Amino acid sequence: MTDDATEAQNPSTPVVYHVTPPLYPPIAGARAREKGVDDNLMTDFVDMNNPEGFGVVMNLEELMTWVVSRDYGIA
């Protein structure tokens, strides 16, 4: 028996869903749709080295500074 990571690396492994996939198409944001991308999860959200992805990659210190600088309206 193999784990999920090993199965994902082997393209000949049949796809086995743990949960039935939804009936609606993958969600893609406006910028992805403009580029003609149907599913941008792996290329834009998971790939931390993609300079044209979405959001900002931060190290822990940058993240903590960003979190502390936010005003969440909590008194």
pLDDT tens-digit readout, 22-61: 888 777 777 777 888 776 666 666 766 766 666 778 899 9
User: Given this model, what pLDDT does residue 5 score?
Assistant: 53
Distance from C-alpha of 59 to C-alpha of 34, rounded to nearest angstrom: 30
Give domain status of residue 22, yes or no: yes
Handedness of CA 64, 52, 54, 25 (dihedral sign): negative
Which residues span the domain enclosing 41?
18-69
Based on the structure, what is the number of domains in the chain?
1
pTM greater than 0.75? no
What's the confidence (pLDDT) of residue 7? 52
| Closest to 26 measured CA to CA, from 46, 10, 42 | 42
Quick one: DSSP state of residue 47? -
Decide if 14 contacts 39 (C-beta within 8 A).
Answer: no
Q: Answer yes or no: is 6 within a domain.
A: no
The answer as to whether 1 is a domain residue is no
Token output for 27 = 């969600």
43 domain residue, yes or no: yes
